[in-house]
Structure 1
């Protein structure tokens, strides 16, 4: 089945999040929003957890219920659960890269409409702060494992299936490279277009590779 022939995935498949989870997401977003503002004003290293908690009008203990550390404010996001749901609910016969491509596009369009500045701050920090850059690799590995596990569940393949893990790793790398290019270019390009371009390249089977 070619990329053009593959079934599309409804937008609703990427965002069926329950009320309780939405409330948690809103609280995390409020904390993150204040943290990013302080990072921009004072720098990442000079900003403390106590300052973030005060700005978000919560206690430090509440902060740690949502984020294990200051680094996690930057490194964690709500995209993985949405992507996993897209993988589980996609039409039968849809390829892994097509599911991810559609699910990511849906999520990224919403993020860019509502939180472009915060996303730009996040990516800039992940590239410029050594501690964040080191830990971002671990985050990518977790996302890679989630993608492989969710697709294995729907396809009946083993989680440690070699081809599946290679595909998940390639998809994760393509998305990471797209976001890095966006940040390195001063966040001037359209990251949605970059990710779509990268995943489209994978979907074609790297036929135009150098």
Structure 2
């Protein structure tokens, strides 16, 4: 499927509808747990909320909750965007450089996801920024999962090994620019828009980070 086809048809909702029935059922359980967790965190505080309370609110057993989210922090840092984003990235025109392919991918996907999930994204990022245990878990997940995904897709695109030091350096630079955009958005208290911040940072990275004199 080409990038143009994905622009026209593969919105995030379309992507979810293409999932097998079993995966759609599992997604509903994950979303129920995450939505109830964020509601309870807001109402009674993160530390005061237990996995057992979250499971009860989502009408599943505690063992089911732990199967989907091994730790309470995972309820905040995990999301379902990666497969969709990977699909869209791999469909970018081959003549685009890796950084321009990433800009194009985020430009196509992020405004839709931002509009659809803005309240949830805001709540999650606020927790990531303010709760030490979540911040630590998020950094470890970023280092272990996000970087590995970026390494893999960039290596595929340029025909190099994912462990190539230059591929890894590139992945760290991209991850850092996304991280900076996320916190700039949070600190702006809604005055700035996340998709524009992400594109601004990736554009700056693509230009070689020109700081001037």
Q: What residue in structure 1 maps to residue 31 of structure 2?
A: 29
Alignment of 1:131-210 (within 5 A): 131-141=133-143, 142-208=145-211
- TM-score between the two structures when normalised by the length of structure 1: 0.86
Shift of 1:13: 6.4
Residue of structure 2 in register with 1:51 after alignment: 53
Identify the residue that residue 3 of structure 1 maps to in structure 2. Answer: none
Q: Equivalent residues in 2 for 1:34-183 (5 A)? A: 34-141=36-143, 142-183=145-186
Which range moved further: 15-24 or 140-149? 15-24
Structure-2 separation of matches of 1:92 and 1:107? 18
In structure 1, distance between residues paired with 2:110 and 2:25:
20
How far the C-alpha of 1:74 sits from its partner, in A, is 0.4
Q: CA deviation at 1:69?
A: 1.1
CA shift for structure 1 position 171: 0.8
Provide the rounded CA distance (Å) in 2 between the counterparts of 1:31 and 1:44.
14
Give the Cα separation in 2 of the matches to 1:19 and 1:128: 34
SS for the counterpart of 2:166 is helix
> Number of aligned pairs?
204
Deviation of 1:14 after TM superposition, in Å, equals: 7.3
If the length of structure 2 is used for normalisation, what is the TM-score? 0.85
Alpha-carbon deviations, 1:116-160, whole Å to 9, x = none? 111111000001000111111112212112111122123321112
Is the CA contact 2:92–2:104 (under 8 Å) kept in the aligned structure 1? Answer: no
Question: CA separation of 1:101/1:24 partners in 2, compared to 1, >3 Å: closer, same or farther?
Answer: farther
Give the corresponding residue for 1:19: 19
